[in-house]
Amino acid sequence: MLPPISAPAGHVPPETPSARDTHLREAAKALEAQFLAEMLKNAGLGETKGAFTGGPGEEQFASFLRQEQAKEMVEAGGIGLAESLFEALKERIDDAG
């Protein structure tokens, strides 16, 4: 029995439009989440105050908290940045193809 034929190394099979849209939307959501996490950081979310704080450990893990909160914000609708990015990327790909 012969082994199955596989695509040559470096060959990427073409994506269906719906799969491409899914990848683009996920990338746009990730970018919006990163943007929101930076905004939350600059707003002071997760800053330690006072003498009885978690110390350096709390400061290090505050970024994880901000990132997860930003992801949840995006899933709840966010600020609309992901949808704008998605539409712009989709239009650019459609024009190139």
Task: Please give the Cα distance from 39 to 45 (Å, whole number).
Answer: 9
Average pLDDT of every residue of the chain: 83
pTM: 0.72
Q: 74: which residues sit within 8 A by CB, 6+ positions away? A: 29, 32, 33, 36, 82
Q: Kindly indicate the confidence band of residue 45, based on its pLDDT and cuts at 50, 70 and 90.
A: confident
Encode pLDDT of 53-89 as tens digits. Answer: 767 777 778 889 899 999 999 999 999 999 999 999 9
